[in-house]
Amino acid sequence: MHSKNMLPKVVIWGAGGHALVVADILRVRAEYVIVGLLYDGTPGRRGERVNGFEVLGGRERLDDLKSQGATHVIFGFGDCTARLQLASSVEAMGLEWATAVHPRATVAVDALIGLGTVVAAGAVVNPGARVGRHCIINTGATVDHECILGDAVHVGPGAHLGGRCVVGDAAWIGIGAIVLDRIRIGAGSMIGAGAVITRDVPEKVVVYGVPGRVVRSVEDQAKRNRS
C-alpha cells in the first residue's frame, strides 16, 4: 500500500456529474491524490465544494497547480469535441494523463486502453479491442471483440458495440444504443439513445431510431440547440 504522500497528484478537469464518476473511480483505485476540480464555466464557482472536492478555478490554474506538485490531469466532462481539442494544450504544459478504470469493469488482458480514458463500473471491453485516448466507456457499456475506437469517443451507459466495430474520433453513442457487428461510425457523429445501428454512419451526423437513420448534421443540431 502506497503512502498517500507518495502518490501522484491529479486534477480533474470538470465539475459536473461525470467528474463525480471519475473522482469515485480514482478514489476506489487509490492510485492518485485528487487535488481538486477545474471548471471553465461560471467564475463564481471557484471555491465551491463538489462532493468534498474544491473547484479550483478554470484552465488558467493549471500552471499554478503544476508548480504546486500536480503531475496528472484527467477530463471529467462529456463534450467529446472539447476533450479532443483541449488535450494538446495540457500536453504542451508537460502534464501527464491519468487513466481511470473502475475495478468492477471487465477489461480483457490484451485490450488496449488509451491514456486519459475512463472505464466506468460494469463496463466490458473484450479481447482485441483498442480504445483511444480520452474516451468514456460509461456505466454498463460493452465494447466487444476487436472493436477500434478513436480518441475522445463516448460510449454511453448501457450502450453495446458488436464485434469489430470502428468508431471515429469524438463520436457519441447514446444511452442504450446498439451497434451491430462490423459497423463503422464516422468521426464526430452522434447516435441517439436507444438507437439500433444496422448500417455504417457517415461523419458528423445525428442518427436515431430503430433502425437508426440520419436525421440531420451535427452542425444543424448545434444550431437547434442554440435557438
Of 167, 169, 133, nearest in space to 147 by CA: 167
The set of residues, in sequence order, having a beta carbon less than 8 Å from that of 41 and lying 6+ positions away, is: none
DSSP-assigned letters across all residues of 8-52? PEEEEE--SHHHHHHHHHHHHHT-SEEEEEE--S-GGGTT-EETT
- Give the max Cα distance, the chain: 53
DSSP class of 109: T
What is the C-alpha separation between 201 and 196, in angstroms, rounded?
A: 12
What is the C-alpha separation between 209 and 194, in angstroms, rounded?
A: 7
Residues with a catalytic annotation lie at 145
